Copies of this chain bind each other. A is one copy, B any other.
Amino acid sequence: SRSINLAVIPGDGIGQEVVAEGLKVLSAVLPQDVKLETKEFDFGARRYHATGETLTDADLDALKRHDAILLGAIGDPSVPSGVLERGFLLKLRFAFDHHVNLRPSKLLPGVATPLAGQPEIDFVVVREGTEGPYTGNGGTIRKGTEHEVATEVSVNTAYGVERVVRDAFVRAQARPRKKLTLVHKNNVLTFAGHLWTNIFNKVAAEFPEVTTDYIHVDAATIYLVTDPGRFDVIVTDNLFGDIITDLAAAVSGGIGVAASGNINPGREFPSMFEPVHGSAPDIAGQGKADPTATVLSVALLLRHLGYDAEADRIDAAVTADLTERAGKPARSTSEIGDALAVRVAG
Is A255 within 8 A of B189, CB to CB? no
Residues of B within 8 A of A148 (CB): 157-158, 195
Chain B minimum-CB-distance residue to A155: B151
> Using a CB-CB cutoff of 8 Å, which residues 122-150 of chain A contact chain B?
133-134, 136-140, 142-150
Contacts A144-B198, A188-B86 given; indicate if A193 touches B81 (C-beta within 8 A).
yes
Among A40-48, A166-174, A221-229, A296-304, the stretch in contact with B:
A221-229
Contacts A158-B146, A189-B133 given; indicate if A140 touches B194 (C-beta within 8 A).
yes
Residues of B within 8 A of A203 (CB): none
> Using a CB-CB cutoff of 8 Å, which residues 103-124 of chain A contact chain B?
113-117
Contacts A222-B247, A222-B249, A250-B226 given; indicate if A192 touches B158 (C-beta within 8 A).
no
Is A225 within 8 A of B242, CB to CB? no
Decide if A16 is an interface residue (CB 8 Å cutoff): no
Shortest CB–CB separation between residue A218 and chain B, in angstroms?
Answer: 4
Chain B minimum-CB-distance residue to A223: B250
CA distance A247 to B17 in the complex (A): 33
> Using a CB-CB cutoff of 8 Å, which residues 151-168 of chain A contact chain B?
151-159, 162
Decide if A34 is an interface residue (CB 8 Å cutoff): no
Decide if A102 is an interface residue (CB 8 Å cutoff): no
Residues of B within 8 A of A255 (CB): 222
Q: Which residues of A contact B (CB under 8 A)?
A: 81-82, 85-86, 90, 113-117, 133-134, 136-140, 142-159, 162, 185-195, 197-198, 217-219, 221-222, 224-226, 239, 242-247, 249-251, 254-255
The 4 closest A-B pairs by CB, nearest first: A218-B246, A221-B247, A148-B158, A150-B191
